[in-house]
Amino acid sequence: NACGMAFTKRNGHSLRTSRAASGSGGADVSLGTSSTSNNLITAPIPRRDETLVTLAGKVLTTNFIRQSEESENALLDPPRSVPNPYGWMRDDKRENVEVLDHLKLENEYTTRITEHLSPLREELYEEMKGRMQETDYTTPAPDGNYFYYSRTEEGKSYSIYCRAPRTPENTDIVQNGKIDWDGKPETPILEGEVVYLDKNKLAEGHEYCSVGSISVSPSETKLAYSLDVIGGETYKLFIKDIESGEVTYHDEELEIDSTVVWGGDDSTLFYLKMDDAHRPFQVYKRLLETESEDEMIFEELDDLFWVGMGKSQDLKYLFISTDSSETSEVLYIDLKSPDDAESGLTTTVNMISKRRKKVLYEVEHRDGLFYISTNLDGTPNMRLMTAPVQPNNEDLWQDVLTETGDKLFDGGLTRALSDITPFRDHIVASGREGGLPRVWVLGDIASKNNTTQVNSVVQLEFTENPYDVGLGANYEFNSDVLLVGYDSLVTPTSTIQIPLLEPQNIEKRKILKKKNVLGYDPSLYQSERTWVTSRDGKTEIPVSLVYRKDTLEKNEGNDKQPVPTHLYGYGSYGSNIEADFRMTRLPLLDRGVVYVIAHVRGGGEMGRQWYEEPNGAKYLCKKNTFNDFVDVASWLINDRKITSPEMLSCEGRSAGGLLIGASINQAPELFKVAILGVPFVDVINTMIDSTIPLTACEWEEWGNPNEEKFFDYISSYSPMENVKTGAKYPACLLTGGLHDPRVQYWEPTKFAAALRHGQNQESGPVCLKLEMSAGHFSASDRYKYLKELAFDYAFLLDQLDLGFAKKQKKEFDDEEDA
């Protein structure tokens, strides 16, 4: 969010200079456009096994489910085969020598073809690091008897989690934004500061380190946390005593999901276990003061549903949610009921409302009522409703009303509700309107006879367009202030404290902390929000741009000189790509690149209708995502005339990598270079096979190609099946992680091979960079992350003929002058 406070034998792989197929495959590739070397390097040519196919549909002998029990769609019968010539690259155990050798060759090729960019990579890295205040802290947030925050120190890769007592002196300093810190790592941010978890120590001896949950016990004396040091998103549970620092519990054999939640006191802890497909599906309760076995209190056997859990804002209830993409079910446990440890009774798990097909809902609690955001009755967006705290209350849900008796959030097309955060005297709602994130403060709330009325609604206003805003670390239900994080494409993040009683009073807002971006002058940059008409002639696609003002001066006037432009997109799951500030963009902007975000359909920027059928980009309208992206690219070239195909790059990651793969297949002539980060590009093969993590639960996202209804449609856009033979493709950099459970490593590996096999001799190089010790989210080390980003950007700039390091460029210019 905006705040940053509060996703394998070597046979057949010898290097060759020709190949017996059309396209460039293993064609000679120069070291780069900015290199003066004449050396040529040949890409690896993995073997193609044309006998390998994947069967979709009704197969009599199968070791995995082919469709959900609830599906009413017919399976393909007889089954249809999908060519999978690189299917041998899949190795679930990551042990096959041939596969590992091929990955090594791919990495070696990428290293050699980009080695001339080492000075530029180092320069980019130093620029990004130089913008970062390495020794810093996050905004202290109150919770119980302490203020909680994290620190970073120069040269250390990870955060250090701290707290300080909530004394009157510390309270005055924090709430009035008066922290006076000398910037030294040894100096405490607040008096009485204590380190309760140092992630740098956890990371010692590991190439990767991710802490999932960090949860302080109700007595504030114990800490439960989950730890992954592989990158595969399988976590281990630890409990430590905060005062002594001693780890009091750890079971090396216990593997869990990242989520860990304390019960009503220090004696109870809840955690989630995952099935073989990496799906959280069981909730366990651990009684810490007994020798009893951990108790499974909930289990979800439907492969389409994922389980999650969390406490209500007032800490009275534990909510257990089990959700598919289209259907929800929420259960609750009263954490304030008498302790059942002595009686040995099973914790009572109550159902709020049994799942109803295509009804989504989320629940919070305030003042004896459940507050429910839901699309009940098929509304395009979420309604806000209430219900009494009792099991199976679905027949008692009532809309929250305004003082005029209208529905506050009616689920219509204009305003989209995404989340609510209750406080003692207010409720804060988050959502979207007009393509921008919004925050509403709801006050003067009255409930009578199961009818709730809100008499005051204040939308927080900001002057920039576009901007990004989201809630910060608001831990306390009884708070009378709200912390939000605000930023924009040109404004670094600020933590703003807003009085809930007067949220509209700008003068009473306090900036508690501004992110310090070293050497940054916002007056040199400009952002804008514009709209591009899609090919259907009626859909307006929001587009955000940021650039240096002097860059666009080159594009003004009658001649309209094209400038380098980088187009970014995502467009899946209803997720939003916000117009936020990233200091890591500055090296691109400072080299004259215009950075553009296409808020394409499939995201949620314009509400859930931007995502859902019939006009969004899901199921049988998924191609809208790719069409929108290509339309924006075409607009940049032909209508706005800001750039040209020789100066346009594109990027997307994960499902955004699918976007890029499909877009360069559709219109390879529009782009000079493409970055596909951990790309989901083998859609048809992956979505057939429910043993692959995420597959079954995402049949409600992409459709199930085992079914007649979806097979042909998915086949028509899946990047692996749609590489254009003999076409000129942009230069491509694909990245992946060997331990990635979300997008398996073989997807970018297979697509790299498919691109080389199909494209023509004039195409750009195809490089695969596969991290052998990381997962979906790449480097966990903040310095290594910057180095990986510098690698990506150096490749991009090189292909746009901007690949000289500044020192190299000066030397080259001096030689030219001489």
pLDDT score recorded for residue 773: 76
Is the sign of the CA dihedral 113, 118, 124, 125 positive or negative?
positive
**What mean pLDDT, rounded, does the chain reach?**
92
Helices 708-717 and 623-634: crossing angle in degrees, nearest 10, is: 20
Separation of alpha carbons 377 and 387, rounded Å? 16
Check if the beta carbon of residue 388 is closer than 8 Å to that of residue 397.
Answer: no
Q: Give mean pLDDT, residues 120-126.
A: 97
Instruction: State pLDDT tens for residues 443-481.
Output: 999 998 889 999 999 999 999 999 999 999 999 999 999
**Which residue carries 């976007």 as its tokens?**
659
pLDDT score recorded for residue 344: 40
Q: Give mean pLDDT, residues 419-423.
A: 98
Helical segments of 620-745, H only: 623-634, 655-666, 683-688, 699-702, 708-717
How sure is the predictor about 413, in pLDDT bands with cuts at 50, 70 and 90? Answer: very high
pLDDT at 22 over 70: no
Beta bridge partners of 540: 533
At a CB cut-off of 8 Å and minimum separation 6, what does 201 contact?
Answer: none
Question: How open is the CA angle 310-314-316, to the nearest 5 degrees?
Answer: 70
pLDDT score recorded for residue 776: 76
pLDDT score recorded for residue 2: 33
Instruction: State pLDDT tens for residues 179-202.
Output: 999 999 999 999 999 999 999 999
pLDDT score recorded for residue 31: 39
How sure is the predictor about 40, in pLDDT bands with cuts at 50, 70 and 90? Answer: confident
Surface-to-core class of residue 275, CB atoms within 10 Å of its CB (0-12 exposed, 13-18 middle, 19+ buried): middle
How sure is the predictor about 778, in pLDDT bands with cuts at 50, 70 and 90? Answer: low
Q: Give mean pLDDT, residues 108-129.
A: 97
Instruction: State pLDDT tens for residues 245-282.
Output: 999 999 999 999 999 999 999 999 999 999 999 999 99
Q: Give mean pLDDT, residues 598-619.
A: 97
Supply φ then ψ for residue 731, to 5 degrees. Answer: -60, 140
Check if the beta carbon of residue 417 is closer than 8 Å to that of residue 429.
Answer: yes
pLDDT score recorded for residue 632: 98
How sure is the predictor about 532, in pLDDT bands with cuts at 50, 70 and 90? Answer: very high
Task: Residue 649: count other Cβ atoms within 10 Å of its Cβ.
Answer: 25
pLDDT at 12 over 50: no
How sure is the predictor about 779, in pLDDT bands with cuts at 50, 70 and 90? Answer: confident
Contacts 24+ apart (CB under 8 A), 277-281: 277/303, 277/690, 277/691, 277/692, 277/693, 277/694, 277/695, 277/696, 278/233, 278/234, 278/693, 278/694, 278/741, 279/303, 279/306, 279/693, 279/696, 279/697, 280/306, 280/307, 280/308, 281/305, 281/306, 281/307
pLDDT at 766 over 60: yes
Q: Give mean pLDDT, residues 588-613.
A: 98
How sure is the predictor about 740, in pLDDT bands with cuts at 50, 70 and 90? Answer: confident
* pLDDT cut 70: percent of the chain above it: 92
pLDDT score recorded for residue 39: 58
How sure is the predictor about 25, in pLDDT bands with cuts at 50, 70 and 90? Answer: very low
Indicate the SS3 state at residue 553.
helix
What does DSSP say about strands 648-653 and 673-677: parallel, antiparallel, or unpaired?
Answer: parallel
Q: Indicate which residues carry an active-site annotation.
A: 654, 740, 776
Check if the beta carbon of residue 137 is closer than 8 Å to that of residue 151.
Answer: yes
pLDDT at 6 over 50: no
pLDDT at 4 over 60: no
Q: Give mean pLDDT, residues 559-576.
A: 95
Answer whether 0.75 is exceeded by the pTM: yes
Q: Give mean pLDDT, residues 646-651.
A: 98
pLDDT at 24 over 60: no
Q: Give mean pLDDT, residues 118-135.
A: 97
DSSP assigned state of 805: -
* pLDDT cut 90: percent of the chain above it: 87
Instruction: State pLDDT tens for residues 686-700.
Output: 999 999 999 999 999
Q: Give mean pLDDT, residues 655-660.
A: 98
pLDDT score recorded for residue 36: 34
pLDDT at 62 over 80: no
How sure is the predictor about 775, in pLDDT bands with cuts at 50, 70 and 90? Answer: confident
Task: Residue 180: count other Cβ atoms within 10 Å of its Cβ.
Answer: 6
What does DSSP say about strands 80-83 and 53-56: parallel, antiparallel, or unpaired?
Answer: antiparallel
pLDDT at 730 over 90: yes
Separation of alpha carbons 727 and 644, rounded Å? 19
